[in-house]
Every structure is written in structure tokens, then in C-alpha cells.
Amino acid sequence: MRIAVFGTKSYTSTYFDRANKAFGHELVYFEARLHERTARLAEGFPTVCAFVNDQIDAAVLRKLHTGGVRTIALRCAGFNNVDLEVAAQLGMQVVRVPAYSPESVAEHTVALLLALNRRIHRAFNRVREGNFALEGLVGFELRRRTVGVVGTGRIGAAVTKILNGFGCRILAYDIAEDPEVSASGVKYVELDELLKSSDIVTLHCPLVPATHHLIDAAAVDAMKNGVMLINTSRGALVDTPAVIEGLKSGRIGAVGLDVYEEEEALFFEDLSSKVLQDDVFARLLTFPNVVITGHQAFLTEEALTTIAETTLRNISQVERGEECENAVAFMAKA
Ligand code: NAD
């Protein structure tokens, strides 16, 4: 199958070329992200391979369809950037990679947590400048601290396993409780209770209408004084201005982010010579107790290998007319 791969980075082609030896697809790489102005690049390709910040809305889907595209192969788990209703109307199939190493994201979550707690980001800069003072670097032990995990799917459950090893008390909130997670000693509670009782809150639920701005001004007010908030899930789970207010008042003690609501205009590109236009993001960068990574929680050898293999297998299944277990179905609202 000829596949137009959008938003290609060096790590995309390296892992896709390696995995493709077993599949034999024709991969054509485009550095450009997929959006209305670049959709024409896919003319004549039956399949487009896209990533989290590609724009796959109604207008783009119609353009792709006119150009002959029939399959959208997402090389990510989330599909909130795809207009599934329009894809279904056009008879286009959407496939994705639902799980590609939850441990990669879980471990990055804990890396953010530990960096913030033990002030690694500040210590790194100080030591490089010959400043060995320890003022302002006091952390706390994770043992016996209460961590609230919102969403105990694949990634959230992996986070609970790691934190169990640290001796944390773990509270969880999910619309569907996992008995295995409960059996490991995690206590499911309502969201209010989790926010009120947790020293650290970490978000692992998907971005859906019910979770949009889950952490808003009211949630910030409900949280424990000095709480640490970690979000490696999707940016729009958090109302960033509300979190900034929480940081300014001290209600929030630390924030670790791998995702940001407006990340589409920023992440995955080298903008170091450009003037940052996003004032909200710029304000976030001024806090000494905020660590941000640019959507890299998935970026491990293991995850990149699984992403490439699963994406290419999905496409092969579609090509052979087989049912693809990783197809994303459009659910009409009741
Ligand atoms: P998953 O589907 O296995 O788990 C999601 C969990 O959230 C499920 O248990 C589900 O019941 C729960 N949930 C759904 N709606 C909820 C709600 N309203 N309130 C509370 N819980 C709710 O997904 P996963 O593989 O664990 O991934 C979680 C999220 O992580 C994804 O949606 C994706 O946005 C994000 N992600 C980020 C990266 C990264 O690189 N930063 C990589 C992969 C995934």
C-alpha cells in the first residue's frame, strides 16, 4: 500500500523503515503536518498516516477523500483530532494504535513527578553554574504520600504499579473501576474526594467532552494546599489559566506537563529562534515549580517500535479487507 506519512521526524522514518521490512508498504514521508493546506500532498495515496497534532477535521477529510484517500492510519492512541462522523459519512476507515507501551508514558509521568519533587531541574542549572547552595531544593519522600490517579486504564494502572513500589497511598477515580487495580491496594473514590485528599494528582483519562477542563478553577480550589499536578494525557484536561492562578496563589505547589491545550502551535518543532506568541505558555515557563516537556512521554525505543509495527499491521489488514481490531468506530450520539 502507498502511504503518505505526515509530520515525519527522523525518529518516525527510522522506526517505520525498520518495521516496514516485514510489511513491504511504500512509505512516502512528508515533514509537513497534515492540515487544510497540506492535504493535497496526499493526492493519489489510498492511505494517510498521521499523528496527534495533525488536523483531521471535516474540511481536511473531504480534501483527502477527493484525492483518493480511504484510510487514516493514526500512529497514536488518541483520536480526538479526527472528525469521526465525517470520516464515517465519507466511508473512510480510521485505525489507531491503542496501546504501545503504557509503561513509557507511566515512567515519564513519574520522571516529571520526581524531577519536581527533588527540584532536579533547578539543581541541574545551579550545579552547572558552580552554585552548590541547597536553599529552595527541599523535597519530600513519596512513601506514605497520597497520590490521586484520574483514569486507571493502561497508563494510569501502570502508574499505580510504579507508585506502589514507592510506598505511596493511592486513590483513583475512573468511570469504570479495574478490579486488578483495586486488588493492588488502590482505593477508588469520587473525584471530589481524590482532589481533596491527594498530595499529587496525575491525569490519565482521555480527552472527551466530560473531561474537558476537568481541572478548572473549582477543581484547583478543591485541591489540597501545595498539591502537585501532573498531566501527561491531553492538554485540554486542564484549564491552564486556572492552573496559573493556582500557582500564583500557592494553592498548587508544582506542575508537571507533557501536554498543553494549545500545543499544536508549539510542540514537535524547533522554535528556539522564534518569538513565543503564546502568552499563557510563556507565563507557565516563568514558574520555578513548573516542568514542561513537549509531548515526549511516548518517546522510547519500545514505544516507537510498537507504534510502527502496529500502524503498518493495521494498514495491511485494511488492505486485505480484513476486520481491523484497531479500527476507530464513530458512535452516533443517542
Ligand atoms: P485507556 O483507554 O487505557 O484508559 C483511559 C481510562 O480513562 C479508562 O480506564 C477510562 O475508563 C477512563 N476514563 C474515561 N472517561 C473518564 C472520565 N470521564 N473520568 C475518569 N476516567 C475516565 O487509555 P491509556 O492508554 O491509559 O491512555 C490515557 C491517555 O493518555 C490517552 O487518552 C492519551 O490522551 C494519553 N496519552 C499520552 C501520551 C503522551 O505521549 N503524553 C501517549 C499516549 C497516550
Does residue 263 have its Cβ closer than 6 Å to ligand 1? no
Neighbours of 234 (CB within 10 A): 23
Three-state secondary-structure class, residue 184: coil
Name the residue at shortest CA distance from atom 32 of ligand 1.
206
Neighbours of 319 (CB within 10 A): 14
Does residue 194 have its Cβ closer than 6 Å to ligand 1? no
Q: Residue 317: name the closest of 5, 107, 73 by CA.
A: 73
Report whether pLDDT(268) > 60: yes
Which residue out of 261, 295, 309, 313 is catalytically annotated?
295
Name the residue at shortest CA distance from atom 8 of ligand 1.
153
**In a shared domain, residues 228 and 134:** yes
| DSSP letter, residue 261 | T
**In a shared domain, residues 44 and 75:** yes
Does residue 101 have its Cβ closer than 6 Å to ligand 1? no
Stated pTM of the model: 0.92
**In a shared domain, residues 144 and 259:** yes
What percentage of the chain exceeds 70 in pLDDT? 99
Q: How far is it, in rounded angstroms, from Cα 279 to Cα 13?
A: 33
Mean pLDDT of 263-287: 96
CA–centroid distance, residue 233 to ligand 1 (Å): 7
Split at pLDDT 50, 70, 90, the class of 333 is low
Mean pLDDT of 256-262: 97
CA–centroid distance, residue 240 to ligand 1 (Å): 19
**In a shared domain, residues 288 and 150:** yes
CATH number, domain with residue 9: 3.40.50.720
Backbone φ and ψ for 239, nearest 5 degrees, come out as -85, 100
Closest ligand 1 atom to 206 CA:
32
Does residue 175 have its Cβ closer than 6 Å to ligand 1? yes
CA–centroid distance, residue 96 to ligand 1 (Å): 14
Three-state secondary-structure class, residue 113: helix
**In a shared domain, residues 96 and 106:** no
Amino acid code (one letter) for 1: M
Q: How far is it, in rounded angstroms, from Cα 118 to Cα 309?
A: 37
So what's the pLDDT on residue 43? 97
| Domain annotation covers residue 168 | yes
| Domain annotation covers residue 223 | yes
Among the listed ranges 44-48, 100-104, 312-316, which one has the minimum average pLDDT value? 100-104
Mean pLDDT of 263-288: 96
**In a shared domain, residues 47 and 190:** no
**In a shared domain, residues 238 and 304:** no
| Domain annotation covers residue 326 | no
Which residue out of 108, 204, 263, 309 is catalytically annotated?
263
Report whether pLDDT(332) > 80: no
> Any catalytic annotation for residue 295?
yes
Name the residue at shortest CA distance from atom 5 of ligand 1.
153
So what's the pLDDT on residue 334? 47
Closest ligand 1 atom to 102 CA:
25
| Domain annotation covers residue 235 | yes
| Domain annotation covers residue 262 | yes
**In a shared domain, residues 269 and 304:** no
Q: How many residues does the chain have?
A: 334
Mean pLDDT of 199-212: 96
Q: How far is it, in rounded angstroms, from Cα 263 to Cα 267?
A: 5
Element (H, E) at 302: helix 301-319
CA–centroid distance, residue 149 to ligand 1 (Å): 11
CA–centroid distance, residue 220 to ligand 1 (Å): 21
Q: Give the model confidence (pLDDT) of 234-243 as tens digits.
A: 999 999 999 9
The three cell numbers of residue 138 are 527541599
Does residue 234 have its Cβ closer than 6 Å to ligand 1? yes
Please give the sequence-ordered ranges of beta strands (E in DSSP) within the chain, or none if there are none: 2-5, 26-29, 47-50, 71-74, 93-95, 146-150, 169-173, 187-188, 200-203, 227-231, 252-257, 290-292
| Ligand 1 mutation pick, 79, 160, 174, 331, max ligand atoms within 8 A of CB | 174
**In a shared domain, residues 153 and 286:** yes
Which residue out of 234, 261, 309, 313 is catalytically annotated?
234
Q: Give the model confidence (pLDDT) of 292-326 as tens digits.
A: 999 999 999 999 999 999 999 999 999 999 999 99
Q: How far is it, in rounded angstroms, from Cα 251 to Cα 229?
A: 11
Name the residue at shortest CA distance from atom 42 of ligand 1.
298
**Mean of the per-residue pLDDT values of the chain:** 96
Report whether pLDDT(15) > 60: yes
So what's the pLDDT on residue 53? 86
Among the listed ranges 34-38, 148-152, 291-295, 328-332, which one has the minimum average pLDDT value? 328-332
Amino acid code (one letter) for 315: I
Report whether pLDDT(135) > 70: yes
Does residue 169 have its Cβ closer than 6 Å to ligand 1? no
Q: How far is it, in rounded angstroms, from Cα 130 to Cα 35?
A: 47
Would you say 221 and 251 are in contact if contact means Cβ atoms under 8 Å apart? Answer: yes
**In a shared domain, residues 108 and 194:** yes
Provide the CA 106 distance to its chain's centre, in angstroms: 11
Split at pLDDT 50, 70, 90, the class of 330 is confident
Mean pLDDT of 85-107: 96
Would you say 292 and 259 are in contact if contact means Cβ atoms under 8 Å apart? Answer: no
Does residue 176 have its Cβ closer than 6 Å to ligand 1? yes
Does residue 294 have its Cβ closer than 6 Å to ligand 1? no
**In a shared domain, residues 46 and 180:** no
| Domain annotation covers residue 325 | no
| Domain annotation covers residue 332 | no
Distances (CA, A) of 257 to 38, 234, 296: 29, 9, 10
Report whether pLDDT(267) > 60: yes
> Any catalytic annotation for residue 107?
no
Considering its fold, how many domains does the chain have in total? 2
Q: Whole domain around residue 212: which residue ranges?
A: 102-292
CA–centroid distance, residue 153 to ligand 1 (Å): 6
Report whether pLDDT(31) > 70: yes
Name the residue at shortest CA distance from atom 39 of ligand 1.
297
**In a shared domain, residues 64 and 20:** yes
| Domain annotation covers residue 330 | no
Q: How far is it, in rounded angstroms, from Cα 19 to Cα 304?
A: 10
